[in-house]
Each structure stands twice: as structure tokens, then as C-alpha cells.
């Protein structure tokens, strides 16, 4: 079974990415979706998976309480819904450490057969994830 990892920017809105998510689901209807639980694209992909019955694997850098310390109530509720829905949950570190975000990205790429990147070329975690996947010759579908 295919495993698709998602990476993308926090500023993206659900309406912006919904057509691409629908296209990915149509192309790979039996795939497991892997997301990292962050606000933005991660949350939109996880919510799309949840509302469309797509198997979801969450790979969180930290436990929910640590990860959501500065989130608002709606963002926390969304992550809780994704945790309740997901078929597999992995948590990489018990406490905050910035480098764990890249560890999570590496894990998602290494466990997937395809990386779907909602990447606009700007620096940051999404760019780091894409660069890592490229360095490994990993298949990437650019979605922006």
C-alpha cells in the first residue's frame, strides 16, 4: 500500500489546498496519508483524510500538550480530532527541542513512497523536508 507524506506551509488555507488534496486522493485512493500535525497544510491534509475516510498516520514531534502550548482552542480541538481518528500515532520526543521538527520530516519521508510538497520556495521546515527528500532521490509531487 502506498504511503504519502505531506509537507507544506503554515500560512496555507484549507480552500487553497483542497483541490490538490482531492487530486492526490483520486490518484492514490488506497494510500495511507502521513502528516506531522502542525498548523496549516499538515492540519488541512489530516482533516481531508478524516472527512474522506483516508487512513491517517500522525507523526508528531512532541506530545499533544507540548506541541499545542501556544495554539488556540480551535487548533487544539482539531489536533485532538485527528489524534482520535488516526490509525497510527507516533510521537518522537517527550519535550520540546527545535531539531525534532526536522527529525519528524526525515521520518515521514523515509516511511513514505511519495512526498506531496506544498512548497513555495521559501526557507524553513518545508524547504528542509523537500531538500532532504531530493537528496535521497525520493519521489516528490510539487503541489503549489
Considering Cα of 116, then 118, then 66, then 50, what sign does the dihedral take?
negative
What is residue 127's predicted lDDT score, i.e. its pLDDT? 96
When the pLDDT of each residue in the chain is averaged and rounded to a whole number, the result is: 96
Q: Which domains occur in the chain, in start order?
A: 3-142 (3.40.50.450)
For 36-52, the pLDDT digits (tens) are 999 999 999 999 999 99
Provide the grid cell at 67: 506541541
User: Hey, CA dihedral for 56, 111, 35, 66, is it positive or negative?
Assistant: positive
Per DSSP, what are the bridge partners of residue 3? Answer: 32
Q: Angle, to 10 degrees, between the axis of helix 73-85 and the axis of helix 41-52?
A: 50
pLDDT at 1 over 70: no
State whether residue 34 is helix, strand or coil. strand
pLDDT, tens digit (0-9, with 9 covering 90-100), for 50-82 = 999 999 999 999 999 999 999 999 999 999 999
Q: How confident is the model at residue 144 (pLDDT cuts 50, 70, 90)?
A: confident
**Looking at the predicted structure, is the pLDDT value of residue 112 above 90?**
yes
d(CA 38, CA 25): 20
Tens-digit pLDDT profile for residues 118-140: 999 999 999 999 999 999 999 99
Amino acid at each position: 500500500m502506498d504511503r504519502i507524506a505531506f509537507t507544506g506551509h503554515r500560512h496555507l488555507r484549507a480552500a487553497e489546498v483542497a483541490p490538490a488534496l482531492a487530486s492526490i486522493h483520486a490518484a492514490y485512493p488506497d494510500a495511507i496519508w502521513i502528516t506531522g500535525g502542525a498548523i496549516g497544510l499538515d492540519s488541512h491534509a489530516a482533516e481531508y483524510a478524516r472527512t474522506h475516510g483516508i487512513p491517517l498516520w500522525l507523526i508528531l514531534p512532541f506530545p499533544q500538550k507540548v506541541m499545542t502550548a501556544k495554539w488556540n482552542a480551535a487548533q487544539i480541538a482539531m489536533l485532538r480530532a485527528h489524534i482520535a481518528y488516526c490509525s497510527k500515532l507516533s510521537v518522537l520526543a517527550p519535550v520540546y527541542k527545535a531539531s525534532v521538527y526536522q527529525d519528524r520530516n526525515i521520518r515521514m519521508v523515509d516511511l513514505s513512497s511519495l512526498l506531496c510538497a506544498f512548497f513555495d520556495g521559501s526557507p524553513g521546515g518545508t524547504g528542509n523536508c523537500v531538500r532532504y527528500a531530493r537528496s535521497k532521490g525520493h519521489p516528490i509531487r510539487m503541489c503549489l
